[in-house]
Structure 1
Amino acid sequence: MSKLKGAYGSIDEILKQGFDRERRSSEFFESVQKAKSFSLDSLSAESYQVGLESASSILNVNSGLPQEQNFGIQKSIRKAFGKPGINEPKIGGHPDFDYLADTKTLKNGFNVSLFIDIKGSTKLGVTYSAETVFLIKNAIIRAAIETIQAFDGHVHRIMGDAVLAFFRSDKKARNAAIDAINCGTYIVQVMNEVVKPYFTEQGIEDDVGIRIGIDYGKKEAVIWGMYGYSGASEVTATSYYVDIAAKLQQKAPKNRVLLGQSIKELLDLPDKILETRYVQSNGEKVKKEFVEPNYLDASGKPINYKQYLLNHEKYIALLPSPSISNSSGNIEITAHLKDDKNSPSKMIYFPCSQVVKKRLGIDFKVKFELPKQDLNKDVRVRFRVENTGAEAREAAENSDNHENVVEAHISDDGYYRASQWADTGYLGLHFMHVSVLDENRRTLLQEESFGVFIGDPLLEIN
């Protein structure tokens, strides 16, 4: 699962189509990408007009065109995560607090902040013309904006090379936090697999990248209100945690996501998907455990607010992938939420998509195909539960980790199937690992993992 996949194809394929559509749309775009020195005077009047139309209709996120006429990634991402509909492009404030405009009212309300900034963009202006720099930066910003919208985030502000987004998904803090982390992960993947290779093909310096910082502020710690005067104002969030997200973005390595302590604790994220940030100093690696500057509290002691690097490769492997094809070697895992084993399915759970309420159960179903030489073997499926987090550690020995091996049955369509029931009892990100074995427990299909966030989805209401 090294590629980021969606129900409409891989995300890298979708983004490449978007870039190719822009490139083919006009001589203007192609000329700009290939030229290190560019002048509008060097193009014919016809090419110039086509270029203007391209810039206004394709590159402008506020053009009013349907999403599929931009990069077209929102539909695919939302389908992959089980999210209905398409979000319209908007910017400024936040829909939950727009009513505060032109008032003196202040309102508490939780918020998850995501800052994204383009790294290396200043150097672009030395090497390329302003038109080229615009197209490079706008392609990255547009891809980020569409990804934010796909995960129910709200673009609050575009600040030159940077974008600030707020997440309040369904007014549920844990779902907002999950959406923000998934969004940041997808944006990094888009940069790694799509934007960076495309720019390399066009001869653009490899120094361009992004940095992302994300953190969560609970209801009591965030104030929403209008800054400025009527007609020259903005409704925004004021919080230590909004500021921390900005500082995390500034310190994040290129094409990485840096998380704050608050969002880590909200979801009780496991160490297996996190890393410690290190920097080079005087030829040595120096551990950076805390956000800098490390402010002092009222008593003069360092706050020691922790920061965590998201392990991109490990986390991206948990996110939704396409259904298995007719070729062998893949395990399709689906999860149905139920009140109990005999109840009807309440909904399909997409991996790492949202928080699951405690005391619900999950009916895991697997489907796979084997090579012809393995068809006559007794086939079994191993379901291995890995619980993480403080609640699991405190409740049971070995965090209640366990495994079951069940018999797989082949259907008339040639696919094997098996199922396993699991309860949801502990806060955190937990894993169902699935592998296929023969009668001697030799591996026929390598283990694949399915991630589930568990907790109280109603932690925050407004």
Structure 2
Amino acid sequence: MNIFDNYKNVIRKAVENDPIKSKQTFSLNESLLDRNREFLSSLKNELPGRELSEDMKTLARGMGVAVTFDYQPLGSHPDFIHLKGTDMVEEHWIISGFIDVKKSTRLFNRFTKGTVRLITESIIRASILAVNLCGGYVHRVQGDGLMVYFGGKSIDKKKAVEDALKSFSMISYFVKNDLKDFFEENGVQDIHTRAGLDLGHTNQVDWFYSGVGDSGEVTTCSLHTSLAPKMQANADDNGMVVGHNIATNLGRPKYFEQKTKEIHDYEDGRLYHQYNFDWERYLVDIGLAVQNHAGVLVLTLNAFPDPKRDSRDLYPIASKSKPYFSRCTQGN
């Protein structure tokens, strides 16, 4: 299954037609740059918008998501938008997440800023797709990264934890598996994601409007919102670090490795711990990935019986994952 192929193909075309890459010089004349700007403007139209590709629709159906879902407005969690412009404060649990692409500034050493802009836009759009497919809310776009919330007033807390881990795992997969080799083939080394996630319980989170007039946003005040970006900074390359509240709510210790250094000291004898999260193992175990014959992770959906899934939606996915497909058909 190739749900990120449209994003990857736009990046590939932008890189292959980049005038700096083709000429290996930074002294480019304006006419050449103008032609490249026109090409990039046309190429941007190939990025998926609100309409999902067939592979995306198949994945959405298999995950139990309507293929007509709409993207949520930036920074507008529907359960708390009524706080905008008011002095009201509400307590409610939420999962805060931060993910971005590290060392992406190296792209400027190889390509024009127009190409870098389109690469960044492709990664951001793919990330927004993964967040929305998994029921999350993009709060803010920060360069080539996202601040995201998962959860809400009508959402089960454990399910929100599972959805947050699933979403960030898919984004990590995209950069590590779909983009890494292509970037390295074009002289860009060590581009990777880092992610951090933490859960603040209801008595640990204030929702409120921060700012003046239109210069503000509905946001959260919580230790755990503040800790999520710190965990991101502590993640390994292509890694994800989560807080103790996430680990205990998922209830599957095999995915978590406690880091030697705590993420927060309450200064009263209590310590708050952080954990490396094995997102690749998690994707396989929840049926969103398999290993191919070469041991490479492939995004897919398994076909184990599930009353919420329609086998007609799963067949086209399983058929594209040969090791898995052969295993499935042997039982028929």
**CA–CA distance in structure 2, aligned partners of residues 198 and 334 of structure 1:** 36
How far does the alpha carbon of each residue in 1:384-419 deviate from its partner, in whole angstroms, 9 at most, with x for none? xxxxxxxxxxxxxxxxxxxxxxxxxxxxxxx55xxx
**CA–CA distance in structure 2, aligned partners of residues 171 and 121 of structure 1:** 35
**CA–CA distance in structure 1, aligned partners of residues 246 and 94 of structure 2:** 10
- Tell me what 2:7 maps to: 18
- Which consecutive residues of structure 2, in runs of 5 or more, have no partner in the other structure? 291-301, 312-326
Please tell me whether the aligned partners of residues 116 and 162 of structure 1 are also in contact (alpha carbons under 8 angstroms).
yes
**CA–CA distance in structure 1, aligned partners of residues 146 and 189 of structure 2:** 21
- 1:193 deviates by 1.6
Change (3 A) 1:33 1:225: farther
- Tell me what 1:171 maps to: 155
Give aligned-pair identity as a percent: 25
Equivalent of residue 290 in structure 1, options 262, 268, 276: 262
**CA–CA distance in structure 2, aligned partners of residues 349 and 75 of structure 1:** 13
Please tell me whether the aligned partners of residues 116 and 163 of structure 1 are also in contact (alpha carbons under 8 angstroms).
yes
**CA–CA distance in structure 2, aligned partners of residues 136 and 45 of structure 1:** 18
Greater RCO (CA < 8 Å, at least 6 residues apart)? 2
**CA–CA distance in structure 1, aligned partners of residues 195 and 93 of structure 2:** 20
Equivalent of residue 304 in structure 1, options 236, 259, 271: 271
TM-score, normalised via structure 1 length:
0.58
The secondary structure found in structure 2 opposite 1:43 is helix
Equivalent of residue 99 in structure 2, options 113, 116, 120: 116
Please tell me whether the aligned partners of residues 115 and 245 of structure 1 are also in contact (alpha carbons under 8 angstroms).
yes
What is the identity, as a one-letter code, of the residue corresponding to 1:275? E
What is the identity, as a one-letter code, of the residue corresponding to 2:41? L
What is the identity, as a one-letter code, of the residue corresponding to 1:116? I
Change (3 A) 1:88 1:106: same
Change (3 A) 1:49 1:89: farther
Equivalent of residue 82 in structure 1, options 60, 64, 81: 64
Change (3 A) 1:253 1:32: farther
The secondary structure found in structure 2 opposite 1:333 is coil
What is the identity, as a one-letter code, of the residue corresponding to 2:38? Q
The secondary structure found in structure 2 opposite 1:96 is coil
Change (3 A) 1:33 1:154: farther
**Does residue 1:190 correspond to 2:174, yes or no?**
yes
Please tell me whether the aligned partners of residues 116 and 213 of structure 1 are also in contact (alpha carbons under 8 angstroms).
yes
Please tell me whether the aligned partners of residues 37 and 128 of structure 1 are also in contact (alpha carbons under 8 angstroms).
no
Please tell me whether the aligned partners of residues 102 and 194 of structure 2 are also in contact (alpha carbons under 8 angstroms).
yes
**Does residue 1:254 correspond to 2:224, yes or no?**
no
CA-atom RMSD, angstroms?
3.1
- 1:109 deviates by 1.4
The secondary structure found in structure 2 opposite 1:49 is helix
Equivalent pairs counted in the alignment come to 302
**If each structure's helix is expressed as a fraction of its own residues, which one has the higher value?**
2
- Tell me what 1:54 maps to: 43
What is the identity, as a one-letter code, of the residue corresponding to 1:139? S
**CA–CA distance in structure 1, aligned partners of residues 215 and 170 of structure 2:** 35
Change (3 A) 1:314 1:48: closer
Structural mapping, 1:353-372, within 5 Å: 368-370=328-330
Please tell me whether the aligned partners of residues 107 and 225 of structure 1 are also in contact (alpha carbons under 8 angstroms).
yes
TM-score, normalised via structure 2 length:
0.79
- 1:155 deviates by 0.6
